[in-house]
Amino acid sequence: MTDQNENNIEGFLLVNKPTGLPSYYCIKKIKHLLEIKTKIGHAGTLDAFATGLLIVAIGRAATRHISQIMELDKWYTATGKLGQLTDTLDFTGSLIEDEETDITSEQIKKAIAELGNQYRQVPPIYSALKYKGRSLSELARQEKLPQEELEKITQKKARVVNIYSCELLSLDLPYFTIEAHVSQGTYIRILLDDIAKKCGTHATTHGLNRSKIGPFSVTDATDLNDFKSLEVVQQQLIPIDKILKIVETYSMP
């Protein structure tokens, strides 16, 4: 088992991220509690407005396995506003259009079915994807590249994503809520808008929660606000070998 004394803290934390905070803030807060200089990272960014599971790796040995955890499938619950479009595809962005719609649940279910279990998804301009060492989101906000150039970059970074399941949970116009089980790299903001596009309109994300990453659930995570001391970090730290065993078992055919 990994030594977890104050001078050698290595392992993983399951963190429940609150809304309004970027993922790097969670890392910064936990790193401050460690009181020692050590490598720390997370296995998959959540937008600042989003909530839910963030897996944090502490120590060089743990961070080596971040990519392995990032490859796991994800579960999300997301709410979109039909007829609305912003530049970021979420409610924090600048409004482009906002129109009334009379879309039905049958239309949304049909759109979900038409997307299928696998499709080519173009990532959003406002994302953590890197271009020449800088995130596209940073380049867009600082207007370092023209819009047309950013759109060309996202087209080149398009990827095929797997939609293992996608269910309409509710429709209360203009809002609709889905639960989606997807592969690594799927953008839920894009998924909501792609569903809306098939209904002849757009959708802007107003709520997003990541409930699971592979076998790990937000129900087993600790609220970020509860990490108030080094002792709490040590209590919640999951050894590297235990995490890897869980991942190995989950990934077995």
Mean per-residue pLDDT over the chain, rounded: 90
Per-domain boundaries in the chain: 11-71+214-251, 76-122+158-177+184-210
Q: Going by CATH, does the domain composed of 11-71+214-251 fall within 3.30.70?
A: yes
Q: Tell me the average pLDDT across 142-147.
A: 68
Burial environment of residue 139 by CB neighbours within 10 A (0 to 12, 13 to 18, 19 or more): buried
Catalytic residue among 3, 47, 73, 90: 47
Judged by DSSP in three states, 125 sits in coil
47 noted as active-site residue: yes
- Is there a common fold for 11-71+214-251 and 76-122+158-177+184-210? no
Position 5 pLDDT exceeds 50: no
- Would you state the pLDDT for residue 243? 97
pLDDT tens by residue, 78-96: 999 999 999 899 999 999 9
Q: Provide the percentage of residues in the chain whose pLDDT is more than 70.
A: 92
Distance from the Cα of residue 124 to its chain's centroid: 13
Q: How far apart are CA 10 and CA 243, in angstroms?
A: 12
CATH superfamily of domain region 76-122+158-177+184-210: Pseudouridine synthase (3.30.2350.10)
Number of helices (H) and strands (E) in the chain: give both, helices first: 9, 14
pTM comes to 0.88
